[in-house]
Structure 1
Amino acid sequence: MGYEAIIFDLDNTLLNFELCERQAILGALENCAVSLDLNGVSETNFIQVFETYNSQYWKQRETFSPRDLIEMSYQSTLAQLDIQTDQISNLGESYWHIFNHFAVMEPDVNEVLTVLARNYRLAVITNGFISAQLPRMQAAGIEHFFEEVVVSEAIGFAKPSPEIFHYALSRLNLTPTEVLYVGDSLKHDYAGATQVNIDFCYYNRKNQNLPPEAKPKFIISELLNLLELIN
């Protein structure tokens, strides 16, 4: 196949976003002494409501800072669940600290990156904020594996925009045929990579059925499978 570099998505490919987010949501509540038990609210219910608001507010990320968006999510969630607290600002700050300094990795990430780094140049393309993505990689202890980390906020384009892929290729001084891109999202990763003719490996971490129009070059259910494909 002749790949020179392997480029990875970050969230839900190398880092488990759902577990990182859950850790931050609940950890901030604990740090700020907001008890769900005393208010008769389950952790699952709180997280579901929080994530609903957060996904709505996150669409305004060009207007508000990450911390503002998190505070807005807590404020709306607490109001809906009728939980009283004067810790909204502290909740946002605590969430952001936990989210950026504690990482939960997908299975076998260190082993896979260690093996791949012997024969391939490695890079990351990720949507998100510089203030979050880089510290999270450092918290996971994986930043040293990567020659380039391209964050959407830094360049003004987000996946699936072809511009972010072209930018990464230019930084690596490679052509599309020399790169394999690995990611978990058909909407952002697959769509973006195929627009610029980069071979795509779909990390199907939840073993979901693919729509008939989706035809990635490779499909893996575990990251370890990647080593069998290209080594």
Structure 2
Amino acid sequence: MSIKNLIFDLDDTLLDFKGGEVADIKELFATHCHLEGPALEKALATYQGINSRLWYQYEMKEIDREEIFTSRFPKTLAALGLTEQADAKQLEEDYAYLRDHNYRMLDGAKELLETLSKRYTLFAGTNGQEETQYRRLKATGLLPYFTKVYTSEGLGVAKPDASFFEKIFSAETAVQKEETIMIGDGLYSDILGGQNAQMATIWVNLKHKELPTDIHPSKQVHSLNELAEIL
């Protein structure tokens, strides 16, 4: 059966979320805690480690989504010994604004969608907040390429849960799983999720990470150009 549909992850697959995150977190800790140099780099690394762990726990159904936003800055400030120097709630509010206005794209993302939209039906499938992702897709000009955008917030379930995909296929009655590929950078969200749903997957491995033995993408690419070539 030929492939007719592509489901794309957004952050760090098409949108440069991490690039914006680095700039935004540094700005926050420089402004609120007056950090610079190695201390600022340490704050960034500490936040990223805590945030990544919380998102993983959410994806594994160990915590609910709201706990990410209420605990990541308190945990970071505590780890850095800065609890008395900054207001964690204000940091979260300021970061939400910066994150929501992060309109960076990975090089070649728009050109890729322009090409693929002529040959496939494109969907977005992201573990993100609905309003944020729609705002970013509109601002970057990527929204028109997608037939529909599905978020974990909107679906009420996150990748890698197979029901994330089952809900998409239930809503898109003309779309067959066997004719669809899940494409993304997240091994334990996008690729494991596609694996759980028994779908074909393409791992966008831009950082040349090592593939663990328990995850099996159908294909692996190391650039968006390579992705365009195999599709």
Band of TM-score, shorter chain: 0.7 to 0.9
* CA-based RMSD: 2.6
In structure 2, relative to structure 1, the CA distance for the partners of 1:131 and 1:74 (3 Å cut) is farther
In structure 2, relative to structure 1, the CA distance for the partners of 1:74 and 1:96 (3 Å cut) is farther
Tell me the distance in 2 between the aligned counterparts of 1:57 and 1:166.
Answer: 25
Alpha-carbon offset, residue 202 of structure 1:
1.3
Q: Residue 165 of structure 2 aligns with which residue?
A: 165
Larger mean Cα displacement after TM superposition, 131-140 or 103-112: 131-140
Q: Residue 91 of structure 2 aligns with which residue?
A: 91
Q: Residue 14 of structure 1 aligns with which residue?
A: 14
Alpha-carbon offset, residue 23 of structure 1:
2.1
Q: Secondary structure at the match of 1:42?
A: helix
In structure 2, relative to structure 1, the CA distance for the partners of 1:177 and 1:70 (3 Å cut) is same
Tell me the distance in 1 between the aligned counterparts of 2:186 and 2:68.
Answer: 25
Q: Deviations over 1:155-202 (max 9, x none)?
A: 221111111111122333211111111111232222221233321111
Q: Secondary structure at the match of 2:6?
A: strand
Tell me the distance in 2 between the aligned counterparts of 1:119 and 1:3.
Answer: 10
Matched residue type, 2:196: Q
Q: Retained in 2: the 8 A contact 1:23–1:99? A: no
Correspondent of 1:42 among 25, 39, 42? 39
In structure 2, relative to structure 1, the CA distance for the partners of 1:228 and 1:218 (3 Å cut) is same
Q: How many residues align?
A: 224
Q: Deviations over 1:18-50 (max 9, x none)?
A: 2121122123345x454213xx75332110122
Q: Retained in 2: the 8 A contact 1:53–1:76? A: no
For structure 1, the residue ranges without an aligned partner over 5 or more in a row are none
Aligned sequence identity (%): 26
Q: Residue 72 of structure 1 aligns with which residue?
A: 74
Q: Residue 212 of structure 2 aligns with which residue?
A: 211
Q: Retained in 2: the 8 A contact 1:8–1:125? A: yes
Q: Residue 222 of structure 1 aligns with which residue?
A: 223
Tell me the distance in 2 between the aligned counterparts of 1:48 and 1:99.
Answer: 17
Q: Retained in 1: the 8 A contact 2:5–2:179? A: yes
Q: Retained in 2: the 8 A contact 1:34–1:85? A: yes
For structure 2, the residue ranges without an aligned partner over 5 or more in a row are 58-62
What is the TM-score when the length of structure 2 is the normalising length?
0.83
